[in-house]
Amino acid sequence: MLLSPFANRTKRLSLLSLAVMTMLSVGCSNNTQDTTAKKSEIVTKAPTNTAANKTPVAKESDASIVKALQANLKASGINETITSAVPTDMPGIYWVSAEGLPSFFTDTEGRHIIQGQIVQVGSGTPVDISAALLASGAKDKLAAVDKKDMIIYPAKGETKAVVYAFTDADCPYCHKLHEEIDQINASGIEVRYLAWPRSEPSIPKSEAIWCSKDRNTAMDKAMTGSDITAANCQSPVREQIELGMSLGVNGTPAIYTEDGRQIGGYLPPEQIAQAVGIS
């Protein structure tokens, strides 16, 4: 019998004890794992090394690190597929990507799993290099999602920015964000919804929305608390749950910019506009 995405998530996260990404603002937490503790003062002050600074140069994966880590995990009874291990700006530390799991760090022997952030200091303002790596991976994964598999609310007038929002129709903060969708669109921001129901019982509602002939109307109704029904279809909901898991989503809404930065949980329209560079 296949495990549900949520059973798989619980199993994987408990085996590796991986802390998923901290929500940067308020939102509905997942029932599997609550949001993590607040960042330290140094980390909070450290800007990400992404759009505001520079995009990290793509580096090649080290096959020997992948092989070593895979072997060490297997020896500990953990069967996960490691897809890459690229060197970071911190000597001897590698950034690891794995199928269906949030990325993490490891050492040169693939013997240690390291969670959290790495902040580079000593050259002026502290820089959070881990956030840059997360953003780079998220950018590629989000760009690979076919537009037909998202529910899109286009900008009014000129499109000045695009945000992706993992959403759950049973989440009150998602309802609040959707109540303000017209204001967000009016500022020139296109909103691309991805499904991320936080529990197994919420999946049918998301699938009904995505299987509706008019998804936008179905989303509008669902976000007011209305029940949605639709004929079964081959929806992308479970794939998007897996996508969110791989990015470290642990609550909704989870808002990302086109360059892969997670800017929130729930944020008011003016803060979303500010985060994407619209004054």
Question: What is the percent of the chain where pLDDT is above 70?
Answer: 81
In the DSSP assignment, the letter for residue 154 is P
Residues 215 and 254 in one domain: yes
Last residue of a domain, one of 93, 124, 143: 143
Residues 179 and 115 in one domain: no
pTM of this structure? 0.76
According to the model, what pLDDT value does residue 30 have? Answer: 64
Residues 163 and 220 in one domain: yes
Residues 152 and 108 in one domain: no
- Kindly report the average pLDDT of the chain as a whole number: 84
Among 78-82, 99-103, 184-188, 247-251, the range of highest mean pLDDT: 184-188
The neighbour count for residue 18, using CB atoms within 10 Å, is 17
Strand residue runs (E) in 108-159: 113-114, 119-120, 127-128, 151-153
Query: Is residue 211 flagged as an active site residue?
Result: no
CATH number at residue 87: 3.10.450.70
Q: Is residue 6 part of a domain?
A: no
Q: How many CA atoms lie within 13 A of 88 on its CB side?
A: 28
Last residue of a domain, one of 143, 174, 204: 143
According to the model, what pLDDT value does residue 162 have? Answer: 98
According to the model, what pLDDT value does residue 8 have? Answer: 52
Residue of 128, 168, 170, 259 with catalytic role: 168
pLDDT at 88 > cutoff 60: yes
pLDDT at 53 > cutoff 60: no
Q: Which of 142, 141, 115 is nearest to 13 (CA)?
A: 115
Distance CA 90, CA 213 (A): 50
Question: What is the percent of the chain where pLDDT is above 90?
Answer: 65
Residues 138 and 152 in one domain: no
Distance between first and last Cα of the chain: 52
pLDDT at 27 > cutoff 90: no
Residue of 171, 192, 211, 261 with catalytic role: 171
Confidence band, pLDDT 50/70/90 cuts, at residue 266: very high
* The pair of three-digit structure tokens given for residue 240, joined into one six-digit string: 């998007």
Q: What is the pLDDT of residues 150-190, one digit of tens each?
A: 999 999 999 999 999 999 999 999 999 999 999 999 999 99
Residues 43 and 86 in one domain: yes
Q: Is residue 129 part of a domain?
A: yes
CATH number at residue 177: 3.40.30.10
Q: Is residue 164 part of a domain?
A: yes
Q: Is residue 50 part of a domain?
A: yes
Distance CA 122, CA 90 (A): 13
In the DSSP assignment, the letter for residue 19 is P
Distances in whole angstroms, Cα of residue 209 to Cα of each of 204, 217, 229: 9, 9, 8
Tally of domains in the chain: 2
Distance CA 226, CA 220 (A): 9
Distance CA 271, CA 279 (A): 10
pLDDT at 29 > cutoff 60: yes
According to the model, what pLDDT value does residue 33 have? Answer: 37
In the DSSP assignment, the letter for residue 214 is S
Question: Which residues, in sequence order, are bridge partners of residue 167?
Answer: 195
Angle 147-153-155 from CA coordinates, rounded to 5°: 110
Residue of 9, 12, 192, 198 with catalytic role: 198
Residues 161 and 252 in one domain: yes
Residues 157 and 268 in one domain: yes
Give the domain range for residue 198.
Answer: 147-275
Query: Is residue 174 flagged as an active site residue?
Result: yes
Judge contact between 159 and 188, C-beta under 8 A.
yes
Out of 17-26, 60-69, 189-198, 218-227, which region has the weakest mean confidence (pLDDT)? 17-26
According to the model, what pLDDT value does residue 26 have? Answer: 74
pLDDT at 51 > cutoff 50: no
Residues 93 and 171 in one domain: no
Q: Is residue 24 part of a domain?
A: no
Q: Is residue 17 part of a domain?
A: no
pLDDT at 9 > cutoff 60: no
Last residue of a domain, one of 108, 143, 178: 143
Q: Is residue 45 part of a domain?
A: yes
Residues 265 and 200 in one domain: yes
Q: Is residue 88 part of a domain?
A: yes
Residues 134 and 197 in one domain: no
Higher-pLDDT residue of 225 and 128 is 225
pLDDT at 127 > cutoff 90: no
Residue of 170, 174, 211, 261 with catalytic role: 174
Q: What is the pLDDT of residues 193-251, one digit of tens each?
A: 999 999 999 999 999 999 999 999 999 999 999 999 999 999 999 999 999 999 989 89
Residues 74 and 137 in one domain: yes
Neighbouring residues of 270: CB distance < 8 A, sequence distance ≥ 6: none
231 burial class (0-12, 13-18, 19+ CB within 10 angstroms)?
A: exposed
Distance CA 56, CA 157 (A): 32
